Structure 1
């Protein structure tokens, strides 16, 4: 597993799975100057003025050469390849949904940035259109704070290159001056973008 270590002027080190380049994109402008007062790593708020070093740590993985090679059937037809590509495990999206809920509750901006497609189209429970940047900014500025994001039911409908998920979520928290408490139905469309499944569109309804 790769890690990024953020070293502060106090000598404290904070570890995160967020890539180094992603952290730098959030806190620097095109000239490489700091343009954010702080960043959020999980529940930790870090003042960018105290950051003295950001470095990536890559775990070394020992690769063992097999004693012998098993014979592999190379006579695979295009139809078999197509059928293999269409197989998507629902368990994979169950895990993605869980990680997304955790990112919502802990305000993990880097995880949310990874899960949400840049051209996300999301309609919230009030019927308002929400973009990816609007969602990230709400978490980044603490305009929205979830203290509980719990799933009581999850349905997964695999598609050729992703899945549609329908989940019942109990939310508790704060949005501005208003308290959030209740059950919501979230519908999300996950699609394989490059090597990463991302949410390309979604909808939320309050029960």
Structure 2
């Protein structure tokens, strides 16, 4: 049975969520494109290496990550995902809990492999 693109993206989003929870740097490395642009909830611009290093060092620790309100748009080789996430965790030893919305842009390579090329995180108030 052939998966639809939307089903592939839903599965990749869940794989990403599990990798974030476990700080699984190898899976994060696989899912994030080398040239990814990440804008965090403070408006700071991060690179792939920054995100991987934060997970590898324990700077970011996520104990719970509950998704809701997931919206997916497919445009040929691009998928845009908006998902609301309830996060429980810490950043540099300080509590980092809250309600956030993630927007991610996935693109598929010539090898039929999906990667995130851009991510934006905003706090929901």
- TM-score interval w.r.t. the shorter chain? over 0.9
Name the larger-Rg structure: 1
Q: Residue in 2 aligned with 1:133?
A: 49
2:28 aligned residue (112, 116, 123)? 112
TM-score, L = length of structure 1? 0.56
* 2:5 equivalent to 1:98: no
| Counterpart position of 1:72 | none
Partner Cα separation in structure 1 for residue 37 and residue 56 of structure 2: 19
Structure 2-normalised TM-score?
0.92
Please state how far the C-alpha of 1:149 moved relative to its aligned partner.
1.1
* Among 178, 181, 188, the residue aligned to 2:104: 188
1:20-35 counterparts in 2 under 5 A? Answer: none
Cα RMSD for the two superposed structures: 1.0
**Which residue of the partner structure matches residue 200 of structure 1?**
117
Give aligned pairs, total: 120
SS at 2:96's partner residue? Answer: strand
* Deviation >4 Å, runs of 4+: none
* 1:90–1:158 CA contact under 8 A, matched in 2: yes
**Greater relative contact order: 1 or 2 (C-alpha under 8 angstroms, separation 6 or more)?**
2
Q: Which 5+ residue runs of structure 2 have no aligned equivalent?
A: none
Aligned to 1:30: none
Matches within 5 A, 1:4-83: none
